[in-house]
Amino acid sequence: MGFFERLKSAASAEWRAYSEHPFTEAMADGSLPEAAFRHYLVQDYLFLIEFARAYALAVYKSPNLADMREAASGVSAILDVEMNLHIKLCAGWGLSAADLEHAPPAVEMLAYTRYVLDAGMRGDLLALKVALAPCVIGYAEIAARLATRPNASAVTNPYSVWIAEYAGAPYQDVAEKTRTHLEGLADRYATPAREAELIAIFGEATRLEADFWEMGWRVGRR
């Protein structure tokens, strides 16, 4: 069993609550209230800004040039590609760039991103990448699963674009490269003595990811 699979197995309850959250299930069948998705989109934009900071921290934490280049490419992908795609997606939901930039951050967004940055500040590059893994790799797994649902790609499903973006080959490739890099870091730095520490980081980051879905889910149920 690979390192990432061991993390998922050890935090199986948290992973299930995150990857099978009702928010994701409702995207697959198109039943998610629009207010829930719009709220999620705004907070995800703010999250991407903090995510870029985490990858910038990964550059600093990198022990060699190869790791630095991998982290730097992540910063560039977020700032130069993913944020523009996100703004375009939000525009389709009636959200302007100004709406996104001036939105107040939700407690759940702050809790998650501050945890990731703190894990990176206190630990090494492996600890930071473990904290980031539920998002980067998790979105690919979630979207790939949702894409197999009967109504996921239906023209009438307003969330088909989101599912297609993360289930598509470009993002799946990003997630696979992230996973491969994580496995390489684990081979170098994941000693048996650190296993419990890394599992705890992964479990907490996964729980906070589930809270991010729950944030939008609550808005939709008001």
Express as a percent the part of the chain with pLDDT over 90: 91
CA 37-158-14 angle, to 5 degrees, is 45
pLDDT in tens, 185-198: 999 999 999 999 99
Residue 105: what residue type?
P
Does 14 participate in catalysis according to the annotation? no
Q: Which of 135, 141, 165, 183 is catalytic?
A: 135
CA 118-52-15 angle, to 5 degrees, is 60
Residue 192: what residue type?
P
Domain spans of the chain, in order of start? 3-220
> How high does pLDDT run on average in the chain?
95
pLDDT in tens, 129-188: 999 999 999 999 999 999 999 999 999 999 999 999 999 999 999 999 999 999 999 999
Burial track 49-71 (b if 16+ CB lie within 10 A, e otherwise): bbbbebbbbbbebbeeeebbebb
Contacts from 169-173 at CB under 8 Å and sequence distance 24+?
A: 171/139, 171/140, 171/143, 172/140, 172/144
Topology at the third CATH level for domain 3-220: Heme Oxygenase; Chain A (1.20.910)
Q: What confidence score (pLDDT) does residue 220 get? A: 62
Q: What confidence score (pLDDT) does residue 222 get? A: 66
Whether the model clears a pTM of 0.85, i.e. scores above it, the answer is yes
How many whole angstroms separate alpha carbon 144 and alpha carbon 172?
Answer: 8
How many whole angstroms separate alpha carbon 2 and alpha carbon 22?
Answer: 28
Does 90 participate in catalysis according to the annotation? no
